[in-house]
Structure 1
């Protein structure tokens, strides 16, 4: 599918949402999987920012939309989206983020900004290759790889640097 803009760089975010929904419709059609209006709306909510959303955040937004959804409905929708490679679960945050490589088998690697909360899905074939080689060397049957890397995005680094220059509290 198509490449997406980086979450911490200015971009037309509506394009991210539109492309994610287009990709989802194509993938579900190709797989003969049913992308119901609720599943599509959940995916749209997940893509409305680059910050991961928990199931209850999604439920609250659905309720605000006037949907009479219960937690099992949201969990089933998220499960469907995850099974079809349209979202990833960020375990450390117990939340979900849209997949920027929808429809492709890939290693889930995520840069999680501890400042703004944005998440960037990272592509690093050499990292996943090294992990696969290490697991094979241990005769370990690898099922899935998910890496979550916490730190600061360039924008938050810059903002912290500016705060430090002005003598902001906590930056002594």
Structure 2
């Protein structure tokens, strides 16, 4: 029950974030966001499409990809490149000063696939410093770290 309440809170925050930015969280975009938030692990676009077709029989790949692009642009979800899948953003709607494009890192379990978003400023600062040393101007950084989650390590 708490998970449903948390998801509803996240959806309300997403609506508020979009409204503040002058963007519209349409019913379709909201449905795709809810599917991403419901997923127990990062979820791929075609898996989302399969779920969406149960609610919208005419849904096609461009439908999902346009919704995902919007949600990414608004910082409500992230793409985990290694998995070619999407995950809800832990930071969305929290009023963070870095707006919706914030530095983040993903911890990906090689055993169970669990993925956790973290936003460790020390990692971000180290990457920025390394980039500056070689004259590289950093625009955006996502770090994906593979290993073993605590649950799998205990097993």
Cross-structure match for 1:165:
none
Please report the RMSD computed on the Cα atoms of aligned residues, expressed in angstroms: 1.5
Runs of 4+ more than 3 Å apart = none
Structure 1 CA distance, aligned partners of 2:6 and 2:141?
25
Cross-structure match for 2:118:
122
Indicate the SS of the match to 2:47.
Answer: helix
Give me the TM-score of the superposition, normalised by structure 2: 0.90
Any idea what the Cα deviations from partners look like across 1:64-122, whole Å, max 9, x if unmatched? 22442110010000000000000000001111000000154321200111222221101
Aligned CA distance change for structure 1 residues 38 and 65 (closer, same or farther; 3 Å) = same
The size of the alignment, in residue pairs, is 149
Work out whether residues 103 and 140 of structure 2, in 8 Å CA contact, stay in contact via their aligned partners in 1.
yes
Larger Rg, first or second structure (1 or 2): 1
Structure 1 CA distance, aligned partners of 2:48 and 2:141?
26
Structure 1 CA distance, aligned partners of 2:105 and 2:27?
29
2:107 to 102, 107, 111: 111
Work out whether residues 80 and 87 of structure 2, in 8 Å CA contact, stay in contact via their aligned partners in 1.
yes
Structure 2 CA distance, aligned partners of 1:25 and 1:148?
28
Aligned CA distance change for structure 1 residues 151 and 16 (closer, same or farther; 3 Å) = farther
Structure 2 CA distance, aligned partners of 1:17 and 1:81?
15
Structure 2 CA distance, aligned partners of 1:15 and 1:110?
25
Work out whether residues 18 and 24 of structure 2, in 8 Å CA contact, stay in contact via their aligned partners in 1.
yes
Structure 2: gaps spanning 5 or more residues: none
